Structures are given as structure tokens and as C-alpha cells.
Structure 1
Amino acid sequence: MTRNVDTTSSSAPELSLPAPKERCRLREAADLTHEQVAAAVGVTAATVRSWETGRTDPRGRNREAYAAFLAALAAPAAPATAPDHADTTSDGPAGTASAAETPRTEQPAEPASADAPAAPAEPVAHPAAVPMTGPAADFDALYDHAAPALARQTYLLTGRRTLALKAVERAFTRAWARWPEVATDPDPVGWVRAVAYDYALSPWHRFRRAHRRQDAPPADPADRILLAAVLALPTRHRRTVMLYDGVGLDLPDTAAETEASTPTAGIRLVHAHADLADRIPQLAEVPPEKQSALLRDLFTALRPAAPLDPRPAAAVRGGGERRVRLWSRGALGLTAVIATATGYTAMTAPTHYEPPQSPGQSVSGVPPLSGPQRLTEPRRQLQEKLRADPEAGPARIAPKVE
């Protein structure tokens, strides 16, 4: 049975905001990016884009902060500075909150489905933009910001420490190999997160011997119950809960990252909350509208049996470069072998056409060779007559009267 979540807004009067097109115009006039506005207001860059397109509207303290920011942009000669409330628990410089460590973002003004819950209107804090001085420094800054949070998220998705760390390392290795594309992506943390989630949740890991044994459960009984409840969810529900409740994405962004429609993502979220409430006593005691906040607190408090310490960024970057060099050398070696075989074939191949020999045909009717045949009676008499007659002389040709 699904639960309907109350989507009514606060009773306090909401501040008036400019039209969506005017919001976009003010930002472009100030020569600011979506990431800079998101860092100033304390939301994600995707949320700012939703506000400027009119798909969603801010509520609560997010609305107050956004209204004040736009007012500062509209005021003449008023610098648009970011407030000093950035939190260092962000999922990355693109403004995506860390798993189970950042507050909730806002929800759309109208739910897409009756079963789709809307998140509480609480602000999400994000760090200020990290200064970038080059590709390697940019990658290291992104890794230092996002790797610890992604390691925790993938651990909650899989329950395996080794697989979680490997998924994070594989995602950042691929990001470094395609760094121009990742660096220009509007949400680089989301790009890396999608790769890490796909690798961590791949069904092929079940056939690997290294992942057949279960990791040691957390020491705290409450953490063991939470982790077991999350791992009991279907893969799609597990990913939806992690993005919505852990990372802090709103429902449309969660649906986009899980490649589903917004109503489908909402239904998955409702069913996932119901399944978790059946397995977690703490979650069953709170009303549905407060389950997201409680899940976020539980994710934050969970402590694995072993620490989740990703390798340094330089080691991951160097390992990716070494892997690329090995693959390049392997490709060059294979190309050289193919070229050598082709040259040898060209030198030893015939220069003219040689028709193939026709296949042999069976011949019938020829008696087998088995020695002299047995003499018949007339032949025997002839042989005796020849032996009795003289061999030479006139008598040989003279007729004989018998």
C-alpha cells in the first residue's frame, strides 16, 4: 500500500520572486553561472536551472535566500556575493550533496503523482567554487570533494567495502580518461556518480569469486538493521532512495538520473519507504513526511566495520594513465603482429592461379589381379599339343597326318 505525503507548504507568507525569464536575465547580466548561484543560495546547479525554467519554485528558506540574491543582483551597484554558509560536506564542486550527509533540497510546486512524495523545504548547503589551476588540479579537487561521499554511497548500495572503493576508483579513472568532457559537464559530480553507481550495481559482480563472501557487518546493531534493510530493496528502489534521501536530489533530477519518469520515480520512492519502514522500527514510528529526514540521519550515523578511505587522487590518476599506456602498447603490439603476418602472407602467396586437382573417380568392371587363371580343358589340350610337337625344323610346318 502506498502512502500519500503531505505536500502543503508552510503557512508563512512566501516572498514574491521575479518571473523565470527575469531570473535568468539577472544571472546572465551579472555574468554568473548556475554553479555560482547554487553555491550562493545553497542548492544544486540543477535546482537553479529548474527555477529559471519555471519547472519548480523555491520554498521556505531556499525561497528567502534566492529572493535576497536576486534582489542584490537587481539593485544598482550591489555586488552579488555568496553568503558564508557553505557546508564542506558537499558531494562535489558542482553542488550535489554528499550521500547521507547533506540536507534536503526543495520539491516541485505540484507533485507529478499522487503517490510521489515531496521532500521537505529545507536548505541544502554547498561549498564555494574551488579554484582550478589546471586539468590535474581540477581533477584532484573534484576527487577530494566527491570521492569520500561516493565511497559511502556505494557502500550503502552494495554493502561491500572493496567493491565500493573499486567503483569510485573506476569512475574517477574513466573521468580522467575523458576529462575534457567531464570538465565541461554542468554537473561533473553527477557524471562520476552515475558511472560509480552503474559499476557498483552491475549484476555481473555476483559471478566474481572476490565478491561471493559477505563483508563483516557494522558493529552497531542499528547500523546492521539499516544496511540489511537497504540491501533487501530492489536495485532500482535502492538507487532511487540513495539519490533522493542520501544525495539530496529533488524528484525530477532523481528520475532523470535513474532514467525513469517523475511519476515512476515517485512510486518507487513510496514503495521503498514502505519496505524500509517494515524493516526499520525507527522509521515506522515517524510520519511519512519525516521519513526522508530520518533516513538521512540514519545514513549519516552509519559506520562501516572497516573505514572507507579512498586512495589519493594522484594515485588514481597515475593508475589510470598507466592503464592507458598498457592498453596502448598492447594495441600497438597486436597491430605489429597483424602487419607482420600480412607481410609474410603476401610474400609466400602464389603469384598465378593454380587450378585445383579434380577429385579421383572410382572405376568399376576391372577384375582384380590375383595371379594366373585356371586353365580350361581346351586350353590344357592345346598346351600339351604345343609341348609334344617339335620346336624347330621343317617338321614344324609340315602337315602331319593323323
Structure 2
Amino acid sequence: MPQSPAPPLPSPKERRRLREAKSLSQADLAAKVGVTRETVRSWETGRTSPRGRKREAYAKLLNAVAAEQAAAEAPHKPEPMKTERATASASTPSTVGGRSRSRSKSAAKRAAKPRTPVPHAAAASTAPAALRPLPVRVTKTEAPEQPDLTPAQAFDALCAGCGPGLVRQAYLLTGRRGLAQESVERAFQLAWQRWPEVAVDRDPAGWVRAAAYEYAMSPWHRFRPSQRHPDAPPAQPADRAFLDVLLSLPPAQRRALMLYDGVGLDLPETAAETEASTPAAANRILHAREAIAERLPDLADPEVLHRRLGEVGKAEKLRLPRADRVRTGSEYRARFWTRAAIAFTALIIGATALTLKNAPTHYEPPQAPGRAISGVPPRMGPGPLTYEDTTLREKLRAELPNGEERLTPQVR
């Protein structure tokens, strides 16, 4: 009996979009299909593809969601859903850090040069055994491709989608609310200044996240007067204890743990973003987990730790960055530094012109030091009177008269 053809499935990116449009979590979808949460993650990242009855149930659920969305957007004629076969025939998939993506040759030429990919097979062979069976958590926020958006609208969408999560992550990395908000705003300001570069990046959210992490964890903040006093701790004792343990970790371990267990990147992408080798990133994650489990045994399970990182970040009231204010602040900062550079250059030019005007126009050689000349007697002159000369002078002044009497001889 011939086997019926497998039902077509949307692309991995479209699968995730349909699930989020239905407001379903990965756990809810896994319960409906009858698989685990890790399996749904693998389907949405493109690492694996469902087969058999699981594929039929998964395709039926996604088609139902797509039909509901098409009915809700009937006047706009939505774009037909891409299947795996159509996607495979249209473009060649490329695997970067364990994630399958499709990109045409013309788009690849326009895109910025990505970071050096780390093959997943090589990463699995070099990673410690404690990290190999862990599922790949990929929770990156990718904006839908909308070519009609202006640069400002695309930037606002990126800021609205990634800003809240980045502020919570920066707070967990630093333990300071003001520094977390400032670091995220500075990262988005830098992204707006370099928007032509960020817009064509394969992961704009990762670009902004790396800039925010670098600014938040800079060691130079300790010299700022505003950072000398500790920030107010969380209200809940459990959150306070967890944040103290997290801040006691070295910065490299804290960042690797946040990327792997907090954000949900896989091991090769965590190593690439932290600019470390895959074994080094794995060791940092393992050491961080051991330190946390030693002081908080309830968080020994990675899934519990992942959920705890999200709960502590959401419990704090943090000011979220506003896209319009970020763009205005970025433009103001750019104008300020441009004017400062122009003023400094004008000051140097004025000082140089003043120096050239007051400088001498001809060369005056310095006078040579004096030398003693032999053969010439020293100049003679009246010297100081001795005691005898002084006595004789006083005697002559006292005895001799001043008139004609001085010519008359005196008898003695």
C-alpha cells in the first residue's frame, strides 16, 4: 500500500510566528501535539522536522492558526504561507550557530559580514558532557521582513520588541536600575547612529544586546560618583538572595550564564557573542551553575534557573526606553560631539595662528658666554680707606681753617 505524502509545513520562522500569533507558549503547543517542549523548540529553530502522526497534528494546528489569521486579515490579502519545499527550492539554507536560515544571494551580498560560525557538531564534541544533553533555547526576537517600513519605523519596532527584555537582563547583570536603563538607551542610541550597519545585520537584536552588555559591565563605572553607593535591593527576600549570588559571580561567568540560561542562546552563539571559544564558554556556564547551586540548591535544575532569571527581572519596576526619545538623544549626542570637535579644531587653529603671528621673523643667535683675556692689567681704582687714612682725614678737616688763616704759619 503506497504511503501518503507528508503534509507540508511552514518554514521554521513562520512556525514560531503562527504560534505567537495564537498566544501559545512552547509548552502549550507541546501539550496539544503530544511532544516535549524541547521538541517544539527544535522544530521552530529548524534543527529537526516532525514526522509521522506528529507532523500531521503539527501541520493541522498550524494550518488552523493560519486560516484564522487569514480570516481576520481578509481585506488585506495576506501573503501565502511558505512551505518547507518552497523555501528549499527558492533559496539555499545556511546554518549559523545551530539555526537554519534561508537567504538569497543578492540579500547575502548586501548583508554585513557575520561572525565566524561555529559548527554545531564540533561544538557538541568539544563541550563538556554536562552541557551536551541540554536543549537548545533560541528565543531571539526577529522583526518580520517589511520592506515598506522607514528606518525610523524599523528602529522603533526593534526598540519596542527588544527594549523591555534588555533592561531586565542588564539589571540582573549589574544589580543597578539606573545603570541598566542607561546602558540600554546608550546601546539603542549607538544602533541608531549606525543604523545602516545594524539594519542589514543577521541579528539586530543581538547587535544591540552585545552593545548594552559591554556598556553595563564596563569596569570604569566604579569610578563614577553615582555608582559608589549600592542600589536598593529587591523587596522579596528570595529575589534579594538570588541577586546577591548572581552578582557574586565573575563578570565573564555572569554574562555567559545570562546568554545561555537567561536569553536562551545555544552554546556556539554564546561563545561567539562573548568572544570566547566553545569549551571556555561551556566551562563558564558550568562553574556559574555550580556556584549558584552551592548557595541556592533549589536552582540546581537549569530549567528552574531559566525560569527564575525571568521572574526576578520582571519583578522590578524598570523604566523602559522610548524609541522617539532614544532617537532624539542619539541625534543630540551626535550634534554635541560634532560641535565639540569643530570647536576644538578651531581652537587649535586659532592658537597656531596666534603663535605664528607673534613668533620672530628672523633668527637672532644667542650671545656667547664671556671669556677671560690674558695680558691686560686689571683696571685700578680707589679702594676703601684704611683706618689710618680715615684718622688723618678727620684730623685735617678739624685742624686746618677755611679762610686766609690757613696760609699763616702757626707756632707750636
Q: TM-score, normalised by structure 1?
A: 0.64
Give me the whole-angstrom Cα distance separating, in 1, the residues matched to 2:239 and 2:307: 12
Q: Which residue of structure 1 aligns with residue 294 of structure 2?
A: 278
**Residue in structure 2 matching 1:72, options 83, 105, 128:** 83
Q: CA deviation at 1:186?
A: 0.7
CA 1:38–1:147: 2 relative to 1, 3 Å: farther
In 2, Cα distance between equivalents of 1:343 and 1:128:
54
Q: Which residue of structure 2 aligns with residue 100 of structure 1?
A: none
**1:100-119 CA distance string (max 9 Å, x none):** xxxxxxx8683423345132
Kindly indicate whether residue 229 of structure 2 is the aligned counterpart of residue 213 of structure 1.
Answer: yes
Does the C-alpha gap of structure 1 residues 191 and 78 become closer, same or farther in structure 2, counting only changes over 3 Å? closer
Corresponding residue number in structure 2 for 1:363: 372
Instruction: Measure, in 2, the Cα distance between the counterparts of 1:76 and 1:335.
Output: 55
Which residue does 2:127 correspond to in 1?
113
Q: Tell me, yes or no, if structure 1 residue 39 matches structure 2 residue 21.
A: no
- Counterpart of 2:243? 227
The TM-score normalised by the length of structure 2 is 0.63
The answer as to whether partners of 1:244 and 1:254 remain within 8 angstroms in 2 is yes
Match of 1:319 in 2: 329
Q: Secondary structure at the match of 2:126?
A: coil
What is aligned with 2:342?
A: 332
Asked if the contact 2:141/2:161 (under 8 Å) is kept, the reply is: no
Q: Which moved more, 1:124-133 or 1:254-263?
A: 124-133
2:199 corresponds to: 183
- Which is bigger in relative contact order (C-alpha 8 A, separation at least 6)? 1
1:175 Cα deviation from its structure 2 partner: 0.9
**1:191 Cα deviation (Å)?**
0.9
Counterpart CA distance in 2 for 1:223 and 1:60 is 31
Runs of 5+ unmatched residues, structure 1: 1-16, 18-35, 44-58, 81-106, 285-290, 376-402
SS for the counterpart of 2:201 is coil
> Size of the alignment, in residue pairs?
293
Listed one character per residue, the Cα deviations across residues 304-329 of structure 1 (whole Å, up to 9, x for unaligned) are 77511223111111011111111111
Aligned to 2:173: 157
**1:309 partnered with 2:319:** yes
Q: Counterparts of 2:89 and 2:211 in 1: how far apart (Å)?
A: 41
Matched, 1:268 2:277: no
Provide the identity percentage.
44
In structure 2, C-alpha distance between the alignment counterparts of 1:320 and 1:356, rounded to whole Å = 56
1:345-360 aligned within 5 A: 345-352=355-362, 354-360=363-369
1:60 aligns with 2:39: yes
* Amino acid corresponding to residue 369 of structure 2 in structure 1: G
Question: Contact conserved, 1:42 with 1:62, CA < 8 A, in 2?
Answer: no
Q: Which amino acid aligns with 1:331?
A: A
Task: Give the aligned CA root-mean-square deviation in angstroms.
Answer: 3.5
Worse overlay, 339-348 or 261-270: 339-348
Q: Which sections of structure 2, spanning at least 5 residues, go unmatched?
A: 1-5, 18-37, 51-58, 60-80, 92-119, 387-412
